[in-house]
Amino acid sequence: MSSIAAVESLYEAVVTDPARWNEQMFVDWTDGLDSDGSLSKVEAKLIRRALRVAQRLAVFWLEAQDRPDLGWESKVDLALGPKAWRPVLDLAEAQLDRTRSEESFQDVSRLFPLVNRESFLDGIDFDEWNLAQSR
């Protein structure tokens, strides 16, 4: 599982079942994420930021008086808005800088509008972007 997918899974878990998450669960999640040591220092820092967001999301939904029946992404948006997605986008951008892969490009393209309310690079596709990068 990519680190982006892992963070999104964490967000989904904490907004759908916040009572399940305690300090040890967050520690265990973090320990399991970089077990092979493949994350850069920048990526590890961004994951720690996302972890703090996840902890805030859990507190928000644990204390919420009204728990609307929404999808998990909407619950993230309702609780913290675009700032919840910022560390995930920054992580995707860091991975795109490091790997220049289509998967990383798609992650950035999908997350960018959640934070910035506009499309990523006017909606160009990976092949166009990759060609421009190699010039």
Residue 38, token pair as written in the block: 């493949």
What pLDDT, on a 0 to 100 scale, did the predictor assign at position 132?
A: 80
Structural domain count of the chain: 1
Q: Which long-range contacts (CB under 8 A, 24 or more apart) does 78-85 make?
A: 79/15, 80/53, 80/56, 82/114, 82/115, 82/116, 82/117, 83/53, 84/11, 84/53, 84/57, 85/111, 85/114, 85/115
What pLDDT, on a 0 to 100 scale, did the predictor assign at position 35?
A: 65
Q: Cα dist. 112→27, 33, 69, 86 in Å? A: 28, 23, 25, 9
What pLDDT, on a 0 to 100 scale, did the predictor assign at position 33?
A: 79
What pLDDT, on a 0 to 100 scale, did the predictor assign at position 82?
A: 95
What pLDDT, on a 0 to 100 scale, did the predictor assign at position 121?
A: 87
Residue 46, token pair as written in the block: 């961004």
> Which residue ranges in the chain fall short of pLDDT 50?
none
Instruction: Say how far apart CA 23 and CA 29 lie, in whole Å.
Output: 10
112-123 confidence digits (pLDDT tens): 999 998 988 888
What pLDDT, on a 0 to 100 scale, did the predictor assign at position 126?
A: 86
Q: Show the domain range for 15.
A: 3-133
What pLDDT, on a 0 to 100 scale, did the predictor assign at position 92?
A: 96
